[in-house]
Structure 1
Amino acid sequence: MVKSINPKFWSPRIPEIQWVGMYCLILISWLVLFLFGIYQSHHPVNFFDFDDLIGSLISPHYHHLDFMFLFGMWGIMALAMMLPSFVPTLRVYEDLRSTGSGSREGFWVLTLGYVTVWLIYAIFMTVIQIYLISLNILPDAMGDLNIYPIVILFLLAGIYQLSNFKDRCLTYCRNPLLIFLARGEVGLTGEFYSGIRFAAWCLGCCFFLMALCLITGLMNIAWMGLLTIIIILEKLPDLGKYVSKPLGIVLIATSLIIYTFQ
């Protein structure tokens, strides 16, 4: 006789099909990121200047693979680094679903809204990086990095960590229930906009930390792994307050040390 499943064992926190899919998406993102890193190490890319970038977007006569390659790196990096920190929000949503306030389809629609914002961010950072390369502020794949962008970006990231706006963003990142309670729309539309709103607060929280990849290298797996751990830790309700502010001090100190010993 087949034994029935213990309802206490089969809970929303045990990986159902959507959780298997989510964890596979995270693993695939990191795998692709790793393969991107291997490819770039053997085939370094010299990116076009800003005029060529704009041309690639408006004319079929321009070659646009450099833009798409760089966007792909930013997009995969955003998914690999930010989806793990989105898991607690999905846990909260699953708890709400168990009370009848959500749906299984809503799980993925919520994720779609979240991912949409980060892909828009990836486009933005792609344009910014190519523009900075065209101004010789950042090097292309073959060049050497100037010390001043490193100092400035670490300093800005550190100051931002200590700002009140960062604290406000972390409030929502640490308490996603606040976003779900504030949603005005119902159904899948509401889930999509909730994903967008949560990603917006998450972007406000992690913008400068992610931007550090401009100077540390998009395919620096060790650095991205460290940043992912930091992002996850500072969003934990109890532990996060012991991570965010000290991290700001460390970033500022790093900036000053680099400038002093350049």
Structure 2
Amino acid sequence: MPGRVFPAVRFRPGLLALIGCALLAWYLTVQLAVGMPPGPGAMGLGLAGFLAGWALMMTAMMLPSLAPLLSAYLRSIRAERSSRTRVIRTTALVVGYLLTWTGFGILAYAASVLGARLAADAPVAAAWIGAGLLAAAGIYQLTPLKNFCLRHCRSPVAFLLHVSSYRGAFRDLRVGLYHGLYCVGCCWGLMLVLITVGVMNLAWMAAIAAAVLLEKTWRHGIAFSRAIGAALIVFACFVPANPWLLPGLYMAPEMIM
């Protein structure tokens, strides 16, 4: 059924490896963020460096929410006799998933650079635009498209039925890309929030990662998603009078100096 919640996750070796990768990515992300306070811009990096950092952040934030689907996928390929083959197929799925989010990082980079310029040249406009972006992200949480993408992410049965027809050497990579596209469709609004509050804002990163995990795995995830949307709309109302609430679009006086 489309709205069916993921079954309980069993901690197979592949899932333990996934969790280990996420924890390592969180550790490296924290190290990267040390001495780099949240602020506008792309962390002073070019596109290649930013994409590398973004891929690391997505590994930390998004891999935990992939665990239930991966658990179902591992059950679907357990007929593979070779453990090496299972590892390769699982890795290809995860790589495809992360490639989708890395591609989204190109848009994140452009938005971060534009946000920095806007914060420096037109701070008042930046606050209003930031409020509008927050409101847009909140409204999207309430739309049928968001609900459609979220239901896909929450339904392993429908997912596995669809990808069972995939064949060829790159089938598992395609599975990861396919699921990643739905995940981007589900979570792009929350990533937009991350850009407005500063790409390296660890507190917001953790909050958004937790929200994504609950949306996709909690039995009340759909209602929770709508609650997040309402909260973002309310939050947006406070931004024009308090532009510092969005460090990704706010140039603090000491930064200007």
Per the normalisation by structure 1, the TM-score is 0.77
Q: Which amino acid in structure 1 is aligned with residue 93 of structure 2?
A: L
**Superposed displacement of residue 26, structure 1:** 0.6
Report which structure shows greater RCO (CA 8 Å, sep ≥6).
Answer: 2
The verdict on how the C-alpha distance between 1:47 and 1:30 changes in structure 2, with shifts beyond 3 A counting, is closer
1:91 to 60, 68, 71: 71
Q: Which runs of 4+ in 1 moved over 6 A?
A: 44-48
CA contact (8 A) 2:41 2:115 kept: no
Q: Which residue of 1 aligns with 2:126?
A: 146
Match of 2:98 among 99, 105, 115: 115
Q: Distance in 2 between matches of 1:36 and 1:66?
A: 15
Rounded to whole Å, the distance in 2 between the matches of 1:237 and 1:224 is: 19
Percent identity among equivalent residues? 25
- Residue of structure 2 equivalent to 1:78: 58
Which one has a bigger Cα radius of gyration? 1
Q: Which residue does 1:8 correspond to in 2?
A: none
Aligned residues: 230
1:65-108, CA deviations, whole angstroms, 9 ceiling, x for partnerless residues?
53333333322222211111111111111121235599332111
Q: Deviations over 1:6-28 (max 9, x none)?
A: xxxxxx93342x33432221112
* Equivalent residue letter for 2:171: G
Return 109-118 or 33-42, whichever deviates more.
Answer: 33-42
Which residue in 2 is equivalent to 1:13?
10
Aligned counterpart, 2:247? none
Query: SS in structure 2 opposite 1:121?
Result: helix
What is the rounded CA distance, in whole Å, between the counterparts of 1:181 and 1:156 in structure 2?
33
**Match of residue 210, structure 2, among 229, 232, 240:** 229
Partner of 2:155: 175
- Superposed, 1:37-76 pairs within 5 Å as 37-41=33-37, 66-76=46-56
Question: Alignment partner of 2:219: what SS?
Answer: coil
Query: Matched residues in 2 for 1:47 and 1:174: separation?
Result: 32
SS of match in other structure, 1:40: coil
Query: Unmatched 5+ residue regions in structure 1?
Result: 1-11, 49-63
With over 3 angstroms needed to count, the CA separation of the structure-2 counterparts of 1:213 and 1:261, relative to structure 1, is closer
| SS in structure 2 at match of 1:129 | helix
Give structure 2 stretches of 5+ with no counterpart.
Answer: 1-8, 244-257
TM-score, normalising length: structure 2: 0.78
1:46/1:155 CA distance change after superposition, 3 Å: closer
Separation (CA, whole Å) in 1 of partners of 2:45 and 2:179? 32
**Distance in 2 between the 1:120 and 1:95 partners?**
29
RMSD between superposed Cα atoms in Å = 3.0
1:257/1:41 Cα in 2 relative to 1: closer, same or farther (>3 Å)? Answer: closer
Provide the C-alpha distance between the structure 2 equivalents of 1:188 and 1:179, rounded to a whole number of angstroms.
Answer: 19
Is the 1:34–1:221 contact (alpha carbons within 8 Å) kept by the matching residues of 2?
yes
> Which amino acid in 2 is paired with 1:115?
L
The equivalent of 1:5 in structure 2 is: none
